[in-house]
Amino acid sequence: MDVAFVVDPLPELKAYKDSSIAMMRALARRGHRVHAVLQPELSWEDGSTYAVGRELALADDDHDWYRASEPGRRRVAAYDAAIMRKDPPFDMEYVYSTYLLECAEREGARVYNRPRAIRDHNEKLAIAKFTDFVAPTLVTRDAALIDTFIDEHGDAIVKPLDGMGGTSIFRVRADDPNRNVIVETVSHHGRRMVMVQRFIPEVVDGDKRVILIAGEPVPYSLARIPKPGETRGNLAAGGRGVARPLTARDRDIASALGPALWAEGLLVVGLDVIGPFLTEVNVTSPTCFVEIAEQTGFDVAGMFADALESAVRAGR
């Protein structure tokens, strides 16, 4: 197969931990041809969607992990599959890219994750589809509602709907003297929606990333354990990743969400689970493949390659 990955600039990717590179290497080991496409190099002209791609020769050396061919422009539909793995921010340029990839789908391209499904699943707000697994949560820009929620629960997390990597996430207690300024800052003085969730104390044991591939869970999660004095377990915020077998509750959540998300065209999804609660549904470029594989020996990228091959064969 010829597989195009829409990714960030290649020199910015950290090969020793990057899940997209793990996917590329798994496909290349099976003899598939891997191409890299940058988001600004997508275009539409006279009824066809194009991408400027570079075929990659991949190496196991994390410091010198690829050689790229000269760039060439071709229709996205000419690839056997296109993998949308551009990292957030999920800004309007990202949205425009999903529109272009959706045009490519109408021309016969197979795009994973499906562009419309990415747009339809805000990574914070998508939990609203699965309320059986969610802690008490409020989404609003109304400061009075936020105040009432914090007073009711006593301890809450306040976060923007478009953040990533733990950015702008605050823990706010009812007696916090900075409570008002935190709410004002995150909501931009009531101009932007925020999410407020009851604080889940089990976060000390880890904010778990449960990976779904074609609706099926990887049998291990990566528990991202906050560093001392922190409430955020995100690896980007200094959290420590520890791979663990899925719990019964993790499997319940995965079995409930997996088939529904795959039916919408979400091939790779990262569920965030704290204690018994689902907190996020990550669909843009879920990570943690490498950490789980290194700690457990389970070939997460190989599971991805199996699923992609099956999906392309089935025309799904």
Cα(104)–Cα(84) distance, integer angstroms: 12
Q: Are strands 72-75 and 48-58 parallel, antiparallel or unpaired?
A: antiparallel
Crossing angle (nearest 10°) for helices 289-296 and 19-29: 70
Cα(83)–Cα(110) distance, integer angstroms: 9
Whether a cis peptide bond, with omega within 30° of 0, leads into 89 is yes
Q: Out of 87, 105, 250, 280, which one is annotated catalytic?
A: 280
User: Is 173 part of the annotated catalytic residue set?
Assistant: no
Q: Out of 110, 114, 198, 209, which one is annotated catalytic?
A: 209
User: Is 74 part of the annotated catalytic residue set?
Assistant: no
Burial 192-216 (b: 16+ CB within 10 A, else e): ebbbbbbbbeebeebbbbbbbbbbe
Helix runs in the chain, H state only? 19-29, 92-106, 115-120, 143-153, 179-186, 248-263, 289-296, 300-314
AA letter at 4: A
User: Is 224 part of the annotated catalytic residue set?
Assistant: yes
User: Is 124 part of the annotated catalytic residue set?
Assistant: yes
Cα(62)–Cα(25) distance, integer angstroms: 11
Q: Out of 87, 224, 234, 291, which one is annotated catalytic?
A: 224
User: Is 299 part of the annotated catalytic residue set?
Assistant: no
User: Is 282 part of the annotated catalytic residue set?
Assistant: yes
Crossing angle (nearest 10°) for helices 143-153 and 179-186: 130
298's tokens: 């389970």
Task: Match 């392309």 to its residue by tokens.
Answer: 312
Sign of the dihedral through C-alpha 8, 22, 302, 217 = negative
User: Is 159 part of the annotated catalytic residue set?
Assistant: yes
CA torsion 139→114→88→203, rounded to 10°?
A: 50
Q: Out of 54, 114, 124, 198, which one is annotated catalytic?
A: 124
User: Is 122 part of the annotated catalytic residue set?
Assistant: no
Cα(297)–Cα(139) distance, integer angstroms: 39
Q: Out of 85, 110, 159, 208, which one is annotated catalytic?
A: 159
Sign of the dihedral through C-alpha 310, 59, 6, 235 = positive
Q: Out of 18, 207, 250, 272, which one is annotated catalytic?
A: 272
End-to-end, the C-alpha distance of the chain in Å comes to 15
Q: Out of 54, 85, 114, 232, which one is annotated catalytic?
A: 232
Q: Out of 54, 113, 282, 291, which one is annotated catalytic?
A: 282
User: Which residues are known catalytic residues?
Assistant: 124, 159, 209, 224, 232, 272, 280, 282
